[in-house]
Amino acid sequence: CTQLLCTVVAKKRIPGQGEAVIVDAGVNLVPTVCYYDHDLHLTPDAADGREGRLSPVDIYGPLCMQTDKLRSQALLPELKVGDPLAIGNVGAYCHTQSMQFIHTRPATVLAGANGTELIRRRETWRDVFALDRIPDRLRSEGCTF
C-alpha cells in the first residue's frame, strides 16, 4: 500500500463547523481525493494512546485555493501541530498526476522488509524551472535561472 506522509502544520476551530487542520500536502499531490476516500490515520508511533477517541475534523492542504480540501469530517483522534498523518492508498497514479503548484514535490521513499530506500529525490525550485529559458532582455540582475 502506497502512503503519503504529511504533517499537521496548523489547527483551528471554525465557528459552526468544528475542528479543521492544515497539512503540508494538498490536492497537488493527491489529486484523487476528488473521487476516492483515502484512508487517513496518525502514524502508529504518533498515536500515543489517542486512537480510541475519534472526532470529526476537516483536513485542508497548504494551497491558496478553496478546493484544497483532502477530507470533510474525517474521524480521527485529536490532532496536534507536528503530528504525522498518513494518507493511504495513494498509489502511483497520484505521483504521475501530481503537479508543481505553489510547492515542490516531496521525495518518494520505498519502505519494505529490506528497510527504506530513496527512489526519487525531493524536487527543488531549480528542477521546476530547469526546462524554462528566460530571454536575456527579460532577465533581472542576479537572476540565476
Helix (H) or strand (E) holding 97: helix 91-97
Burial 11-35 (b: 16+ CB within 10 A, else e): eeeeeeeebbbbbbbbbbbbbbbee
Active-site hit among 1, 6, 34, 64: 64
> Does 64 qualify as catalytic in the annotation?
yes
Q: Which residues are catalytic?
A: 64
